[in-house]
Amino acid sequence: MSFSRKVFDGKDVVFANVLRSSSCGHLFECIEYYYLFKTEYVSELGRPMKPAIFLAYDNFTKEDLRNIIENKYHLTPAEIDNLLEDTYIETIDEFMGYKIHDFRNVTTTVFVEGYDLIQMTHLNMFTLANHLVALRCAQADEEYKELKFTKTDFQIFQDYRVYGERLHELKTQNHVKRLLFHKLKLYKFQEPNAAFMYLSTDCRELPEDYVQKTIEQYPQFSKIFVSVLDREPFKHLETDRVKFLEPPIKSFHSLFGTMIYLPVGRKFDCSSRLIPECSYYGKKVIYHDIDYIDLGLEMRKVDSEPSFIRSNLNLDRQDLLFKTIGRQCIRRLT
């Protein structure tokens, strides 16, 4: 059954992230690109750009989205209200109720995680769009072959330093993921001598005994905060000094001065947000137990050097995706 979401009629671009059991880091890409197009696009169309956000998440509401935005970004109440009004959320069951997802009422559709399209293909789902863009955030070279069914104008945006230029017969663009630094909130550290460990995604889950041994290796910190998907298995490790937190964590950047970066099971971290965010806030990053070569991580470390980050990693009108979508809208609508 084909399904076209009428709520997107007349929209120029939709930023999509789907098939998530709860919110994830790719949500911030949706928020930040939405904001950039809504507020900073200088259009030749004779009107402002009309962006939207589409999420297929379980256990997630617009109120959750409001709390995340208010906690992380310095946006006006009107800007937040506009974003929420332009956001459409479905549960995974609702999304999976249709095999053909028709976005042809939108000029450009952007999946901020290209692997979403691979998952949809595995589920025998098809995407129809005028201009379809996917931001690559996984190796999975062979699986991208399966996306050639599309009859749309389709492009993969990927970092050539990490993935190379070619991806079978698909069209690619060189693209480094940027962050909307100039709208991030500024925080006063409550615990400058505290550390933070991030285990809040499936690929970062580590055994309890490994987490305990890692904590024991850092007695110099007055507190250690650990972000986990589920606190229950770790409760016996909690003390006055060690706290396990489930996301979203309110004002979490105010909690610590050092991040302890832990290994990723797949030994590949394509475009971490936390590393450049820590650099932006002047935090130290300790790379713990990284005994493997991860090209994605190495490039993110280069990008996050203080002398480089503000001029080259800030999301602004010089971003290639921003320019490409703008040209597509002008081409289609004029």
Residue 306, pLDDT score: 80
Indicate if 153 and 214 belong to the same structural domain: no
Residues 139 and 199 occupy one common structural domain = no
pLDDT number for residue 11 = 94
Total domains in the chain come to 2
Low-confidence ranges of the chain (pLDDT < 70): 1-2, 148-152, 200-204, 310-311, 334
Largest CA distance in the chain: 63
pLDDT of residue 329: 84
Residues 290 and 172 in one domain: no
Give the CATH number, domain containing residue 252. 3.40.50
Q: Are residues 206 and 296 in the same domain?
A: yes
Token pair of 86 as six digits: 């332009």
Q: At what angle do helices 77-85 and 62-72 cross, to 10 degrees?
A: 150
Task: State whether 176 and 265 are in the same domain.
Answer: no
265, 260, 293: which is closest to 275 by C-alpha? 260
Burial class (CB in 10 A: 0-12, 13-18, 19+), 120: buried
**Cβ neighbours for 322, distance < 8 A, ≥ 6 positions apart:** 33, 36, 37, 41, 315, 316
pLDDT at 2: 63
Looking at the fold, whether 306 and 322 belong to one and the same domain comes out as no
Q: Please tell me whether residues 176 and 215 are part of one structural domain.
A: no
- State whether 65 and 204 are in the same domain: no
pLDDT of residue 275: 94
Q: What is the DSSP string of 82-102?
A: HHHHTEEEE-HHHHHT-SEEE
CB of 81 within 8 A of CB of 34?
A: no
pLDDT more than 70, % of the chain? 96
Residues 126 and 273 in one domain: no
Q: What pLDDT shows up at residue 203?
A: 62
Q: CB under 8 Å to 28, separation ≥6 — which residues?
A: 72, 179, 273
| Burial class of residue 24 (count of CB atoms within 10 Å of its CB; 0-12, 13-18, 19+) | middle
Are 161 and 200 in the same domain?
A: no
- Domain extent, residue 82, equals 2-180+315-333
Q: Are residues 34 and 172 in the same domain?
A: yes
- Rounded distance between C-alpha atoms, residue 53 and residue 12, angstroms: 11
Predicted local confidence at residue 48, as pLDDT: 87
Are residues 228 and 116 both part of a single domain? Answer: no
